[in-house]
Amino acid sequence: MADRPRKPGPGAKRAGRSARAFAASGGGFASVDEQLRYRLERGLLGRRGRRRAKPASGRGPKVDQGPRLTAAEAEVAERLQKVMARAGVASRRHSEALIQAGRVTVNGRVVTELGTKVVPGRDIIEVDGRPLGRPETKVYVLLNKPKGYVTTLFDPQGRPKVTDLLEGEVAERVYPVGRLDFDTEGLLLLTNDGDLANGLMHPARRVKKTYIAKVRGVPGPAKIRALREGIELDDGPTAPADVKVLEVRAPNSATISLRIHEGRNRQVRRMFAALGHEVIHLKRIALGPLKLGDLPAGEWRYLTDQEVADLYRAAGLRLGGKPRGRRPARR
C-alpha cells in the first residue's frame, strides 16, 4: 500500500516562504527541500518555540527564595543578612556575599536572594552547615585612634590594627564605623550594631564629623571661603564645610577646625592639598553628637546609654534599629 502523502508542517511552510523569498531576491536555493537541508545542517531548524531542558535534580539542599510569611510574621520578620550580622557571623556586606554564594540555608533550603526575610527564633538558619548562634549583645566602643594604625580588620601588609588596641577585653566582634587613614588620629566608633553603623554612614543622614587640621602655610580669606563653598576634587566637588581658623603661626602653619558630613577617602587632606596646603597633623574630635573629650591616645571606653541614644537620633533611628516615624506635614 502506497504511503499517504503527509501535509507539510509549520516548519516546512515557514521554510517554503523563506525559500521563495530567497529565490525571488536572487538567492541560491533551488527548492524547499534544499533550504530545509541547509537549515538542518546548521542547526537553524526548529529554534522557535524550543523548550529548554530542565536541569537534572541533584542531591543537597533545595534552592529557595526564603520561607513564606503570614501577616503576623511579616510584622516581626527581618532581612536575613541583618540577622546574620547581629549574630556576629560577619558584617552585613560580607553576610550578603555568603548568601549569594549559596552558603546559607533557612529551614534546610539554600537561600541566595538578598532581601529574604526570616523570623528570628522560628526559622533555622545555618551557615556552611552550622546553626546560627544567639544574637550578640550590642557593644559600643569609643577609641582615640593613634597615628600608625589601620582601621581595617585585616591588613595584607601586617600593620597594627585598631582592634589590637582593645587587647582582647571586648569579647564581641566589633567593626569600625567609617575609617581614619593610617596617619590620622582621633575619634573612632567601633560596634557590632549594623543598624546604627549604616545609619551614621548613610549620605542622606548627613551626620557631621569634626576635624582639627594643622596645615603648612596660612590659608588666606579666599581659600577659607573656598572651603566653605566647596572644593573641586578629582571625584567631584565637596559639599560646603563649616570652617573656623583656631590658630595662626605665620608664615609657617595654621590650625583649622573643619566640619563635614561627607566621608570620602582622605577627603580633608585632599581638600587642603587642592588649595596648596599640606596637612601636617589631622585629628577627628567629633562624630555627630559624640565627642572625643580628653580620652588619651590609644585608650578606649564604652559609650554611655545617653551617648548611644543620641547617636540613634542622629542616624534617624529608634533604639532597636527601626527608622523613626516622620511627623505628618502641617497643612
- Strand 130-131 to strand 140-145: parallel, antiparallel, or no bridges (unpaired)? unpaired
Residue 167: predicted pLDDT: 81
- CA–CA gap between residue 77 and residue 283 (Å, rounded): 41
Closest CA to 147 of 185, 179, 181: 185
Tell me which of 3.40.50.300, 3.10.290.10, 3.40.50.2020, 3.30.9.90 is the CATH number of domain 63-131. Answer: 3.10.290.10
- The angle at the Cα of 171, spanning 165 to 177, to the nearest 5 degrees, equals 60
- CA–CA gap between residue 158 and residue 121 (Å, rounded): 39
Residue type, 125: I
- Strand 117-118 to strand 130-131: parallel, antiparallel, or no bridges (unpaired)? unpaired
Residue 50: predicted pLDDT: 42
> Which residues have a catalytic role annotated?
181
Closest CA to 82 of 114, 48, 122: 114
- CA–CA gap between residue 270 and residue 272 (Å, rounded): 5
- CA–CA gap between residue 41 and residue 27 (Å, rounded): 18
Residues 6 or more apart from 305 whose CB is under 8 A from it? none
DSSP, res 162? G
Beta strands in 177-241 (DSSP E): 185-191, 209-216, 232-233, 236-237
Q: Which residues of the chain have pLDDT under 50?
A: 1-2, 5, 12, 15, 18-27, 45-58, 324-331
The reply to whether 208-287 shares the fold of 140-203+291-314 is: yes
Residue type, 321: G
Break the chain into its structural domains and give their ranges: 63-131, 140-203+291-314, 208-287
Residue pair 190/174 in contact (Cβ under 8 Å)? The answer is yes
- Superfamily of domain 208-287 in CATH is Alpha-L RNA-binding motif (3.30.70.1560)
Residue 28: predicted pLDDT: 53
Q: Which residues pair with 291 in a beta bridge?
A: 286
Tell me which of 3.30.70.580, 2.60.40.420, 3.40.50.720, 1.10.1060.10 is the CATH number of domain 140-203+291-314. Answer: 3.30.70.580
Collapse the DSSP code of 273 into the 3-class scheme (helix H, G, I; strand E, B; otherwise coil) and give the result.
helix
Closest CA to 289 of 315, 258, 255, 320: 315
Residue 89: predicted pLDDT: 82
- Report how far Cα 155 is from the mean position of its chain's Cα atoms: 20
From the CA atom positions of the chain, what is the Rg in Å? Answer: 32
Q: Which three cell numbers stand for residue 237?
A: 566637588
Give the number of other CB atoms < 10 A from CB of residue 297: 13
- CA–CA gap between residue 217 and residue 233 (Å, rounded): 20
- CA–CA gap between residue 198 and residue 78 (Å, rounded): 16
Residue pair 115/126 in contact (Cβ under 8 Å)? The answer is no
Q: Is 279 left (phi over 0), alpha (psi -120 to 50) or beta?
A: beta
Collapse the DSSP code of 325 into the 3-class scheme (helix H, G, I; strand E, B; otherwise coil) and give the result.
coil
